[in-house]
Structure 1
Amino acid sequence: MPWISDGGGGGSWKPSGGGPWGQKPSSPQPDLEDYLRRAQDRLRSWLPGSGGGLGGARGLLALLLVGVSLWLLSGFYTVGPSEVGLNKIFGRYTGKTGPGLNYNLPYPIGDVDKLAVTTRNTINVGFAYRADGRNAVDLPEESLMLTGDENIADVKFVVIWQIDPVRPEDYAFNIANQRETVKAVAESAMREVIGRSQIQRILTADRRVIEPAVQELMQRILNEYKAGVLVLQVQLQSVDPPEQVIAAFRDVTAAQQDQNRMRNEAEAYANRVVPEARGKAAAMIQEAEGYREQTVAEATGQAARFLKIYEEYKKAPDVTRERMYLETMERVFGGMDKVILDQGSDGQPVVPFLPLGSLLDKPHEGARR
């Protein structure tokens, strides 16, 4: 759009025509270059050395305040749900913070260390895995240990531990190379426990007591160090004799297992036979006691019967004697297949026509019936 002078002394310029519809605009349009020029002039007035005087000092102070504010705002930090933050001022520990948004003076005055206190860490002693994570490599300098009976045992085990969430500052500031320290304590504790045991018991019965003993000893040593470490578990992977004599030890172990098996079978047989023998003995004792009671009762009854007969005999000796004779004859000859004839008072025999044959047949028939 062409511009023309308004003819005044101010030398101002105005558009030569009206607006887009032939009307004059109510106010001049803003000039972008003019705004930029004014902003540059105003910034120069705030900067020191620009001749602004008091305005330059105030500009420097404002910039300083903005910088300090940004620096202070950089002190906000976030702690994860499984972490603990350790605040430090000039390298000195000042306190710990929990999960969430927290604040500490920013670097270089303050600093924050974040520790994962719920993460379980694993340390392998006596062996290590290759880079592929599949094949394990034996470390004999760690696994070979001397037993109490001066034998050598090849012990491989795993230690599971974590940072103590109650005292994480001990873990961060009291020990250096924390993982190596825990491994060294684990190896030392295992050597002490193995050194108090015998090789045969280590290979058989004592394996289940080695793990808690090593865990307890490790925790006690780390507590003395104030290491801020919790030993969660010790797991034995293998306990074997050295490779050169492992075949002989396996033979010994197999023989011991056979011995234990035979002992168990013998104990089972004894547990089965002894109760049977005791039962038979008790039955025989009860039978003997019953026979004794029966015999004593029969003897007592016969004695009482004899006494009663004797009393009656004293009252009537002839009658009682005759009765006893008849009862005795009846008891003696009652089951016999004979006929006994008594002679008459005059010495004459019985009439010969007596049918003795029929008398002799009747008992036989009765017996057959």
Structure 2
Amino acid sequence: MAWNEPGGNNQDPWGGGNKGNNQGPPDLDEAFRKFQQTLKGIFGGKGGSNGGNHSRGGSAGQGGGAGLWIGVLVIAVLAYIWNAIYIVDEKERAVILRFGKYVETVDPGLNMYFPPVESKFQYPVTQINTYRLSQSMLTEDENIVEVAMSVQYNIADLKDYVLNDSNPEQSLKEATQSALRHVVGSSEMDMVLTEGRAGLGEEVKERLQDYLDQYGSGLNIVQVNIESSQPPRQVVGAFDDVIRAREEEQREKNKAEAYANQIIPEARGDAQRILEDAEGYKQEVVSRAEGDAARFSNLLGEYKKAPGVTRERLYIETMQELLGSTSKVLVDVEGGNNMMYLPLDKLMDSKKAKASATGMSAPSQVTLTQDEISALADQVTAEINRRVSSTRQGRTAR
């Protein structure tokens, strides 16, 4: 039955009592004031203006002290639980130590640990961190270079990162300087500044990772970038001159190699052709000598059979070979004491001169007409007859 219904004895739940049958809304200020008094009674405060006799006040004070300690305990428990509950993000991991001893590595999610018995170390393990370094150092050939580099790394093993090294970041810095100085100190300046710059970063990365693994730092080197490598500013001008001279040297070498690539194949071709010509000449000479030897052997056999005939034939063949290409004719008259000389080449030259005088083009090959041949034959015959007659008259006179 509702408190304000008939027969409900007007029991106001807000403590207002019967206020002259006034059924309006409860007094909120009065309700709040009563709530404050109740809290004060719980935590040891006095009950209000009509607190009652002394015995009731003593009981209320004892109850309020107990309630205070209970409230403090509840708050402490809630605060402990609030601090013990933690969330591990996707990019993070957490390591739990119990009395300083490793317990587990916590994966992402909602978790809870119990301090001070347990300790929690929570770090991002997938985040890429960057450490930059710029140093001046000596190369193997005792030149100074300035190298600027950046190291990108992340946490690969959180347990090692927490337990094995008290300051992994400082170990990374010192190991980076050591690795860089070792690699640069083992290289010449030209390699550091020019073509060896790309491989320099890989060498530093391998050596640095080896150092960190020996330390057990739990760090992983993702990339080492050589951002710049240059000589000291005080000698940049001289170094630029050296670079230009080296480029000029390389250009001249390239030109010489191009010329050599052009000349050497031609020389090799000429040499090969000479060798082939010599081999052909050798084969020709050998074959001719073998043929001459075989012909001489055959001729010797024929000579042994008929020496006179062979000598005559050899003489005729030799004279035919010698006089076959000459433009002169020698006529030997039987019984005469001399030979008649017919200069056919002179006759040919005179005919060419006559053709040039008449304005006709001289043929490349001069031929005699039939009449000219007949006239020449008549002259030869008359000369022969004359010489024969002269020879006979001389013999008669003797």
**Fold shared by both chains (TM-score > 0.5):** yes
User: Cα–Cα, structure 1 residues 215 and 318, in superposed 2: closer, same or farther, change >3 Å?
Assistant: same
* CA distances 1:162-209 after superposition (whole Å, capped 9, x unpaired): 111xx2112123334443432232123223333344444433354344
Residue in structure 2 matched with residue 117 of structure 1 by the alignment = 125
Q: Does 1:249 align with 2:257?
A: no
- Determine which of 98, 101, 108 is the counterpart of 2:107: 98
User: Structure 1-normalised TM-score?
Assistant: 0.65
Structure 1, residues 89-113: CA drift from partner, whole Å, max 9, x if none? 35543111334x3644344544543
The answer (yes or no) to whether the contact 1:117–1:168 under 8 Å persists in 2 is yes
* Aligned counterpart, 1:261: 251
2:239 is equivalent to residue 231 of structure 1: no
Inter-partner Cα distance in structure 1 for 2:116 and 2:3: 61
CA distance in 1, matches of 2:5, 2:187: 112
Between the aligned partners of 2:110 and 2:266, the Cα distance in structure 1 is 79
Q: Distance in 2 between matches of 1:296 and 1:4?
A: 153
Which residue number in structure 2 is paired with residue 173 of structure 1?
Answer: 163
Structure 1's unaligned 5+ residue stretches are 14-31, 52-56, 127-142, 350-354, 362-369
Q: Name the amino acid aligned to 2:207.
A: L
Task: Letter of the 2:132 partner, please give it.
Answer: N
Counterpart pick for 1:300 among 290, 298, 313: 290
Residue number in structure 2 paired with 1:218: 208
Q: 1:105 to 1:338 in 2, by over 3 A?
A: closer
Shift of 1:120: 1.8
1:321 and 1:114 map into 2 onto residues whose CA distance is 125
Coordinate RMSD, CA, aligned: 4.4
CA–CA separation in structure 1 for the residues paired with 2:130 and 2:3: 83
- C-alpha change, 1:104 and 1:280, in structure 2 (3 Å) is same
* Secondary structure of residue in 2 paired with 1:296: helix
Q: Which residue of 2 aligns with 1:83?
A: 92
Q: What is the rounded CA distance, in whole Å, between the counterparts of 1:185 and 1:345 in structure 2?
A: 125
Measure, in 2, the Cα distance between the counterparts of 1:4 and 1:213: 93
Q: What fraction of aligned residue pairs are identical, expressed as a percent?
A: 36
Alignment partner of 2:270: what SS? helix
Does structure 2 retain, via aligned residues, the 8 Å contact 1:72–1:105?
A: no
- 1:136 counterpart residue number: none
Instruction: Single out whichever of 116-125 and 89-98 deviates more from structure 2.
Output: 89-98
Q: How many residues align?
A: 298
Corresponding residue for residue 20 of structure 2: none
The CA distance in 1 between the partners of 2:158 and 2:287, in whole Å, is 91
What is the identity, as a one-letter code, of the residue corresponding to 1:321? R
- 1:1-369 equivalent positions in 2, closer than 5 A: 77-90=86-99, 92-99=101-108, 101=109, 103-126=111-134, 143-164=135-156, 167-344=157-334, 357-358=373-374
Tell me, in whole angstroms, the C-alpha distance in 2 between the residues paired with 1:177 and 1:359: 131
Please say if residues 89 and 105 of structure 1, whose CA atoms lie closer than 8 Å, have aligned partners that are also in contact. Answer: no
Distance 2:325 2:254 in 1: 63
Q: Of the two structures, which has the highest relative contact order with CA contacts closer than 8 Å and spacing of 6 or more?
A: 1
Question: Structure 1 residues 4 and 116 mapped into 2: Cα distance closer, same or farther (>3 Å)?
Answer: closer
Aligned 8 A contact 2:113 2:120 in 1: no
- Which whole-Å CA distance do the structure 1 matches of 2:336 and 2:249 have between them? 97
* Runs of 5+ consecutive residues of structure 2 not aligned to the other structure: 11-25, 45-58, 61-65, 340-370, 378-398
Question: Segments of 4+ in structure 1 off by > 4 A?
Answer: 1-6, 67-78, 106-109, 344-347
Q: Are the aligned partners of 2:130 and 2:151 in contact in 1 as well (CA < 8 Å)?
A: yes
**Partner amino acid, structure 1, of 2:104:** G
**Cα 1:233/1:304, change in 2 over 3 Å:** same
> Structure 1 356/181 Cα, relative in aligned 2: closer, same or farther at 3 Å?
closer
Q: Give the Cα separation in 2 of the matches to 1:124 and 1:151.
A: 23
Q: Residue 298 of structure 2: SS of its match in structure 1? A: helix
Paired residue secondary structure (2:325): coil
1:5 Cα offset (Å):
8.6
344 and 104 in structure 1: CA distance in 2 versus 1, 3 angstrom threshold: same
**Would you say the 8 A contact 2:88–2:111 is kept in 1?**
no
Cα distance change of structure 1 residues 340 and 113 upon mapping to structure 2, 3 Å threshold = same
- Distance of 2:5 and 2:303 partners within structure 1: 186
Q: Partners in 1 of 2:167 and 2:237 — Cα distance?
A: 40
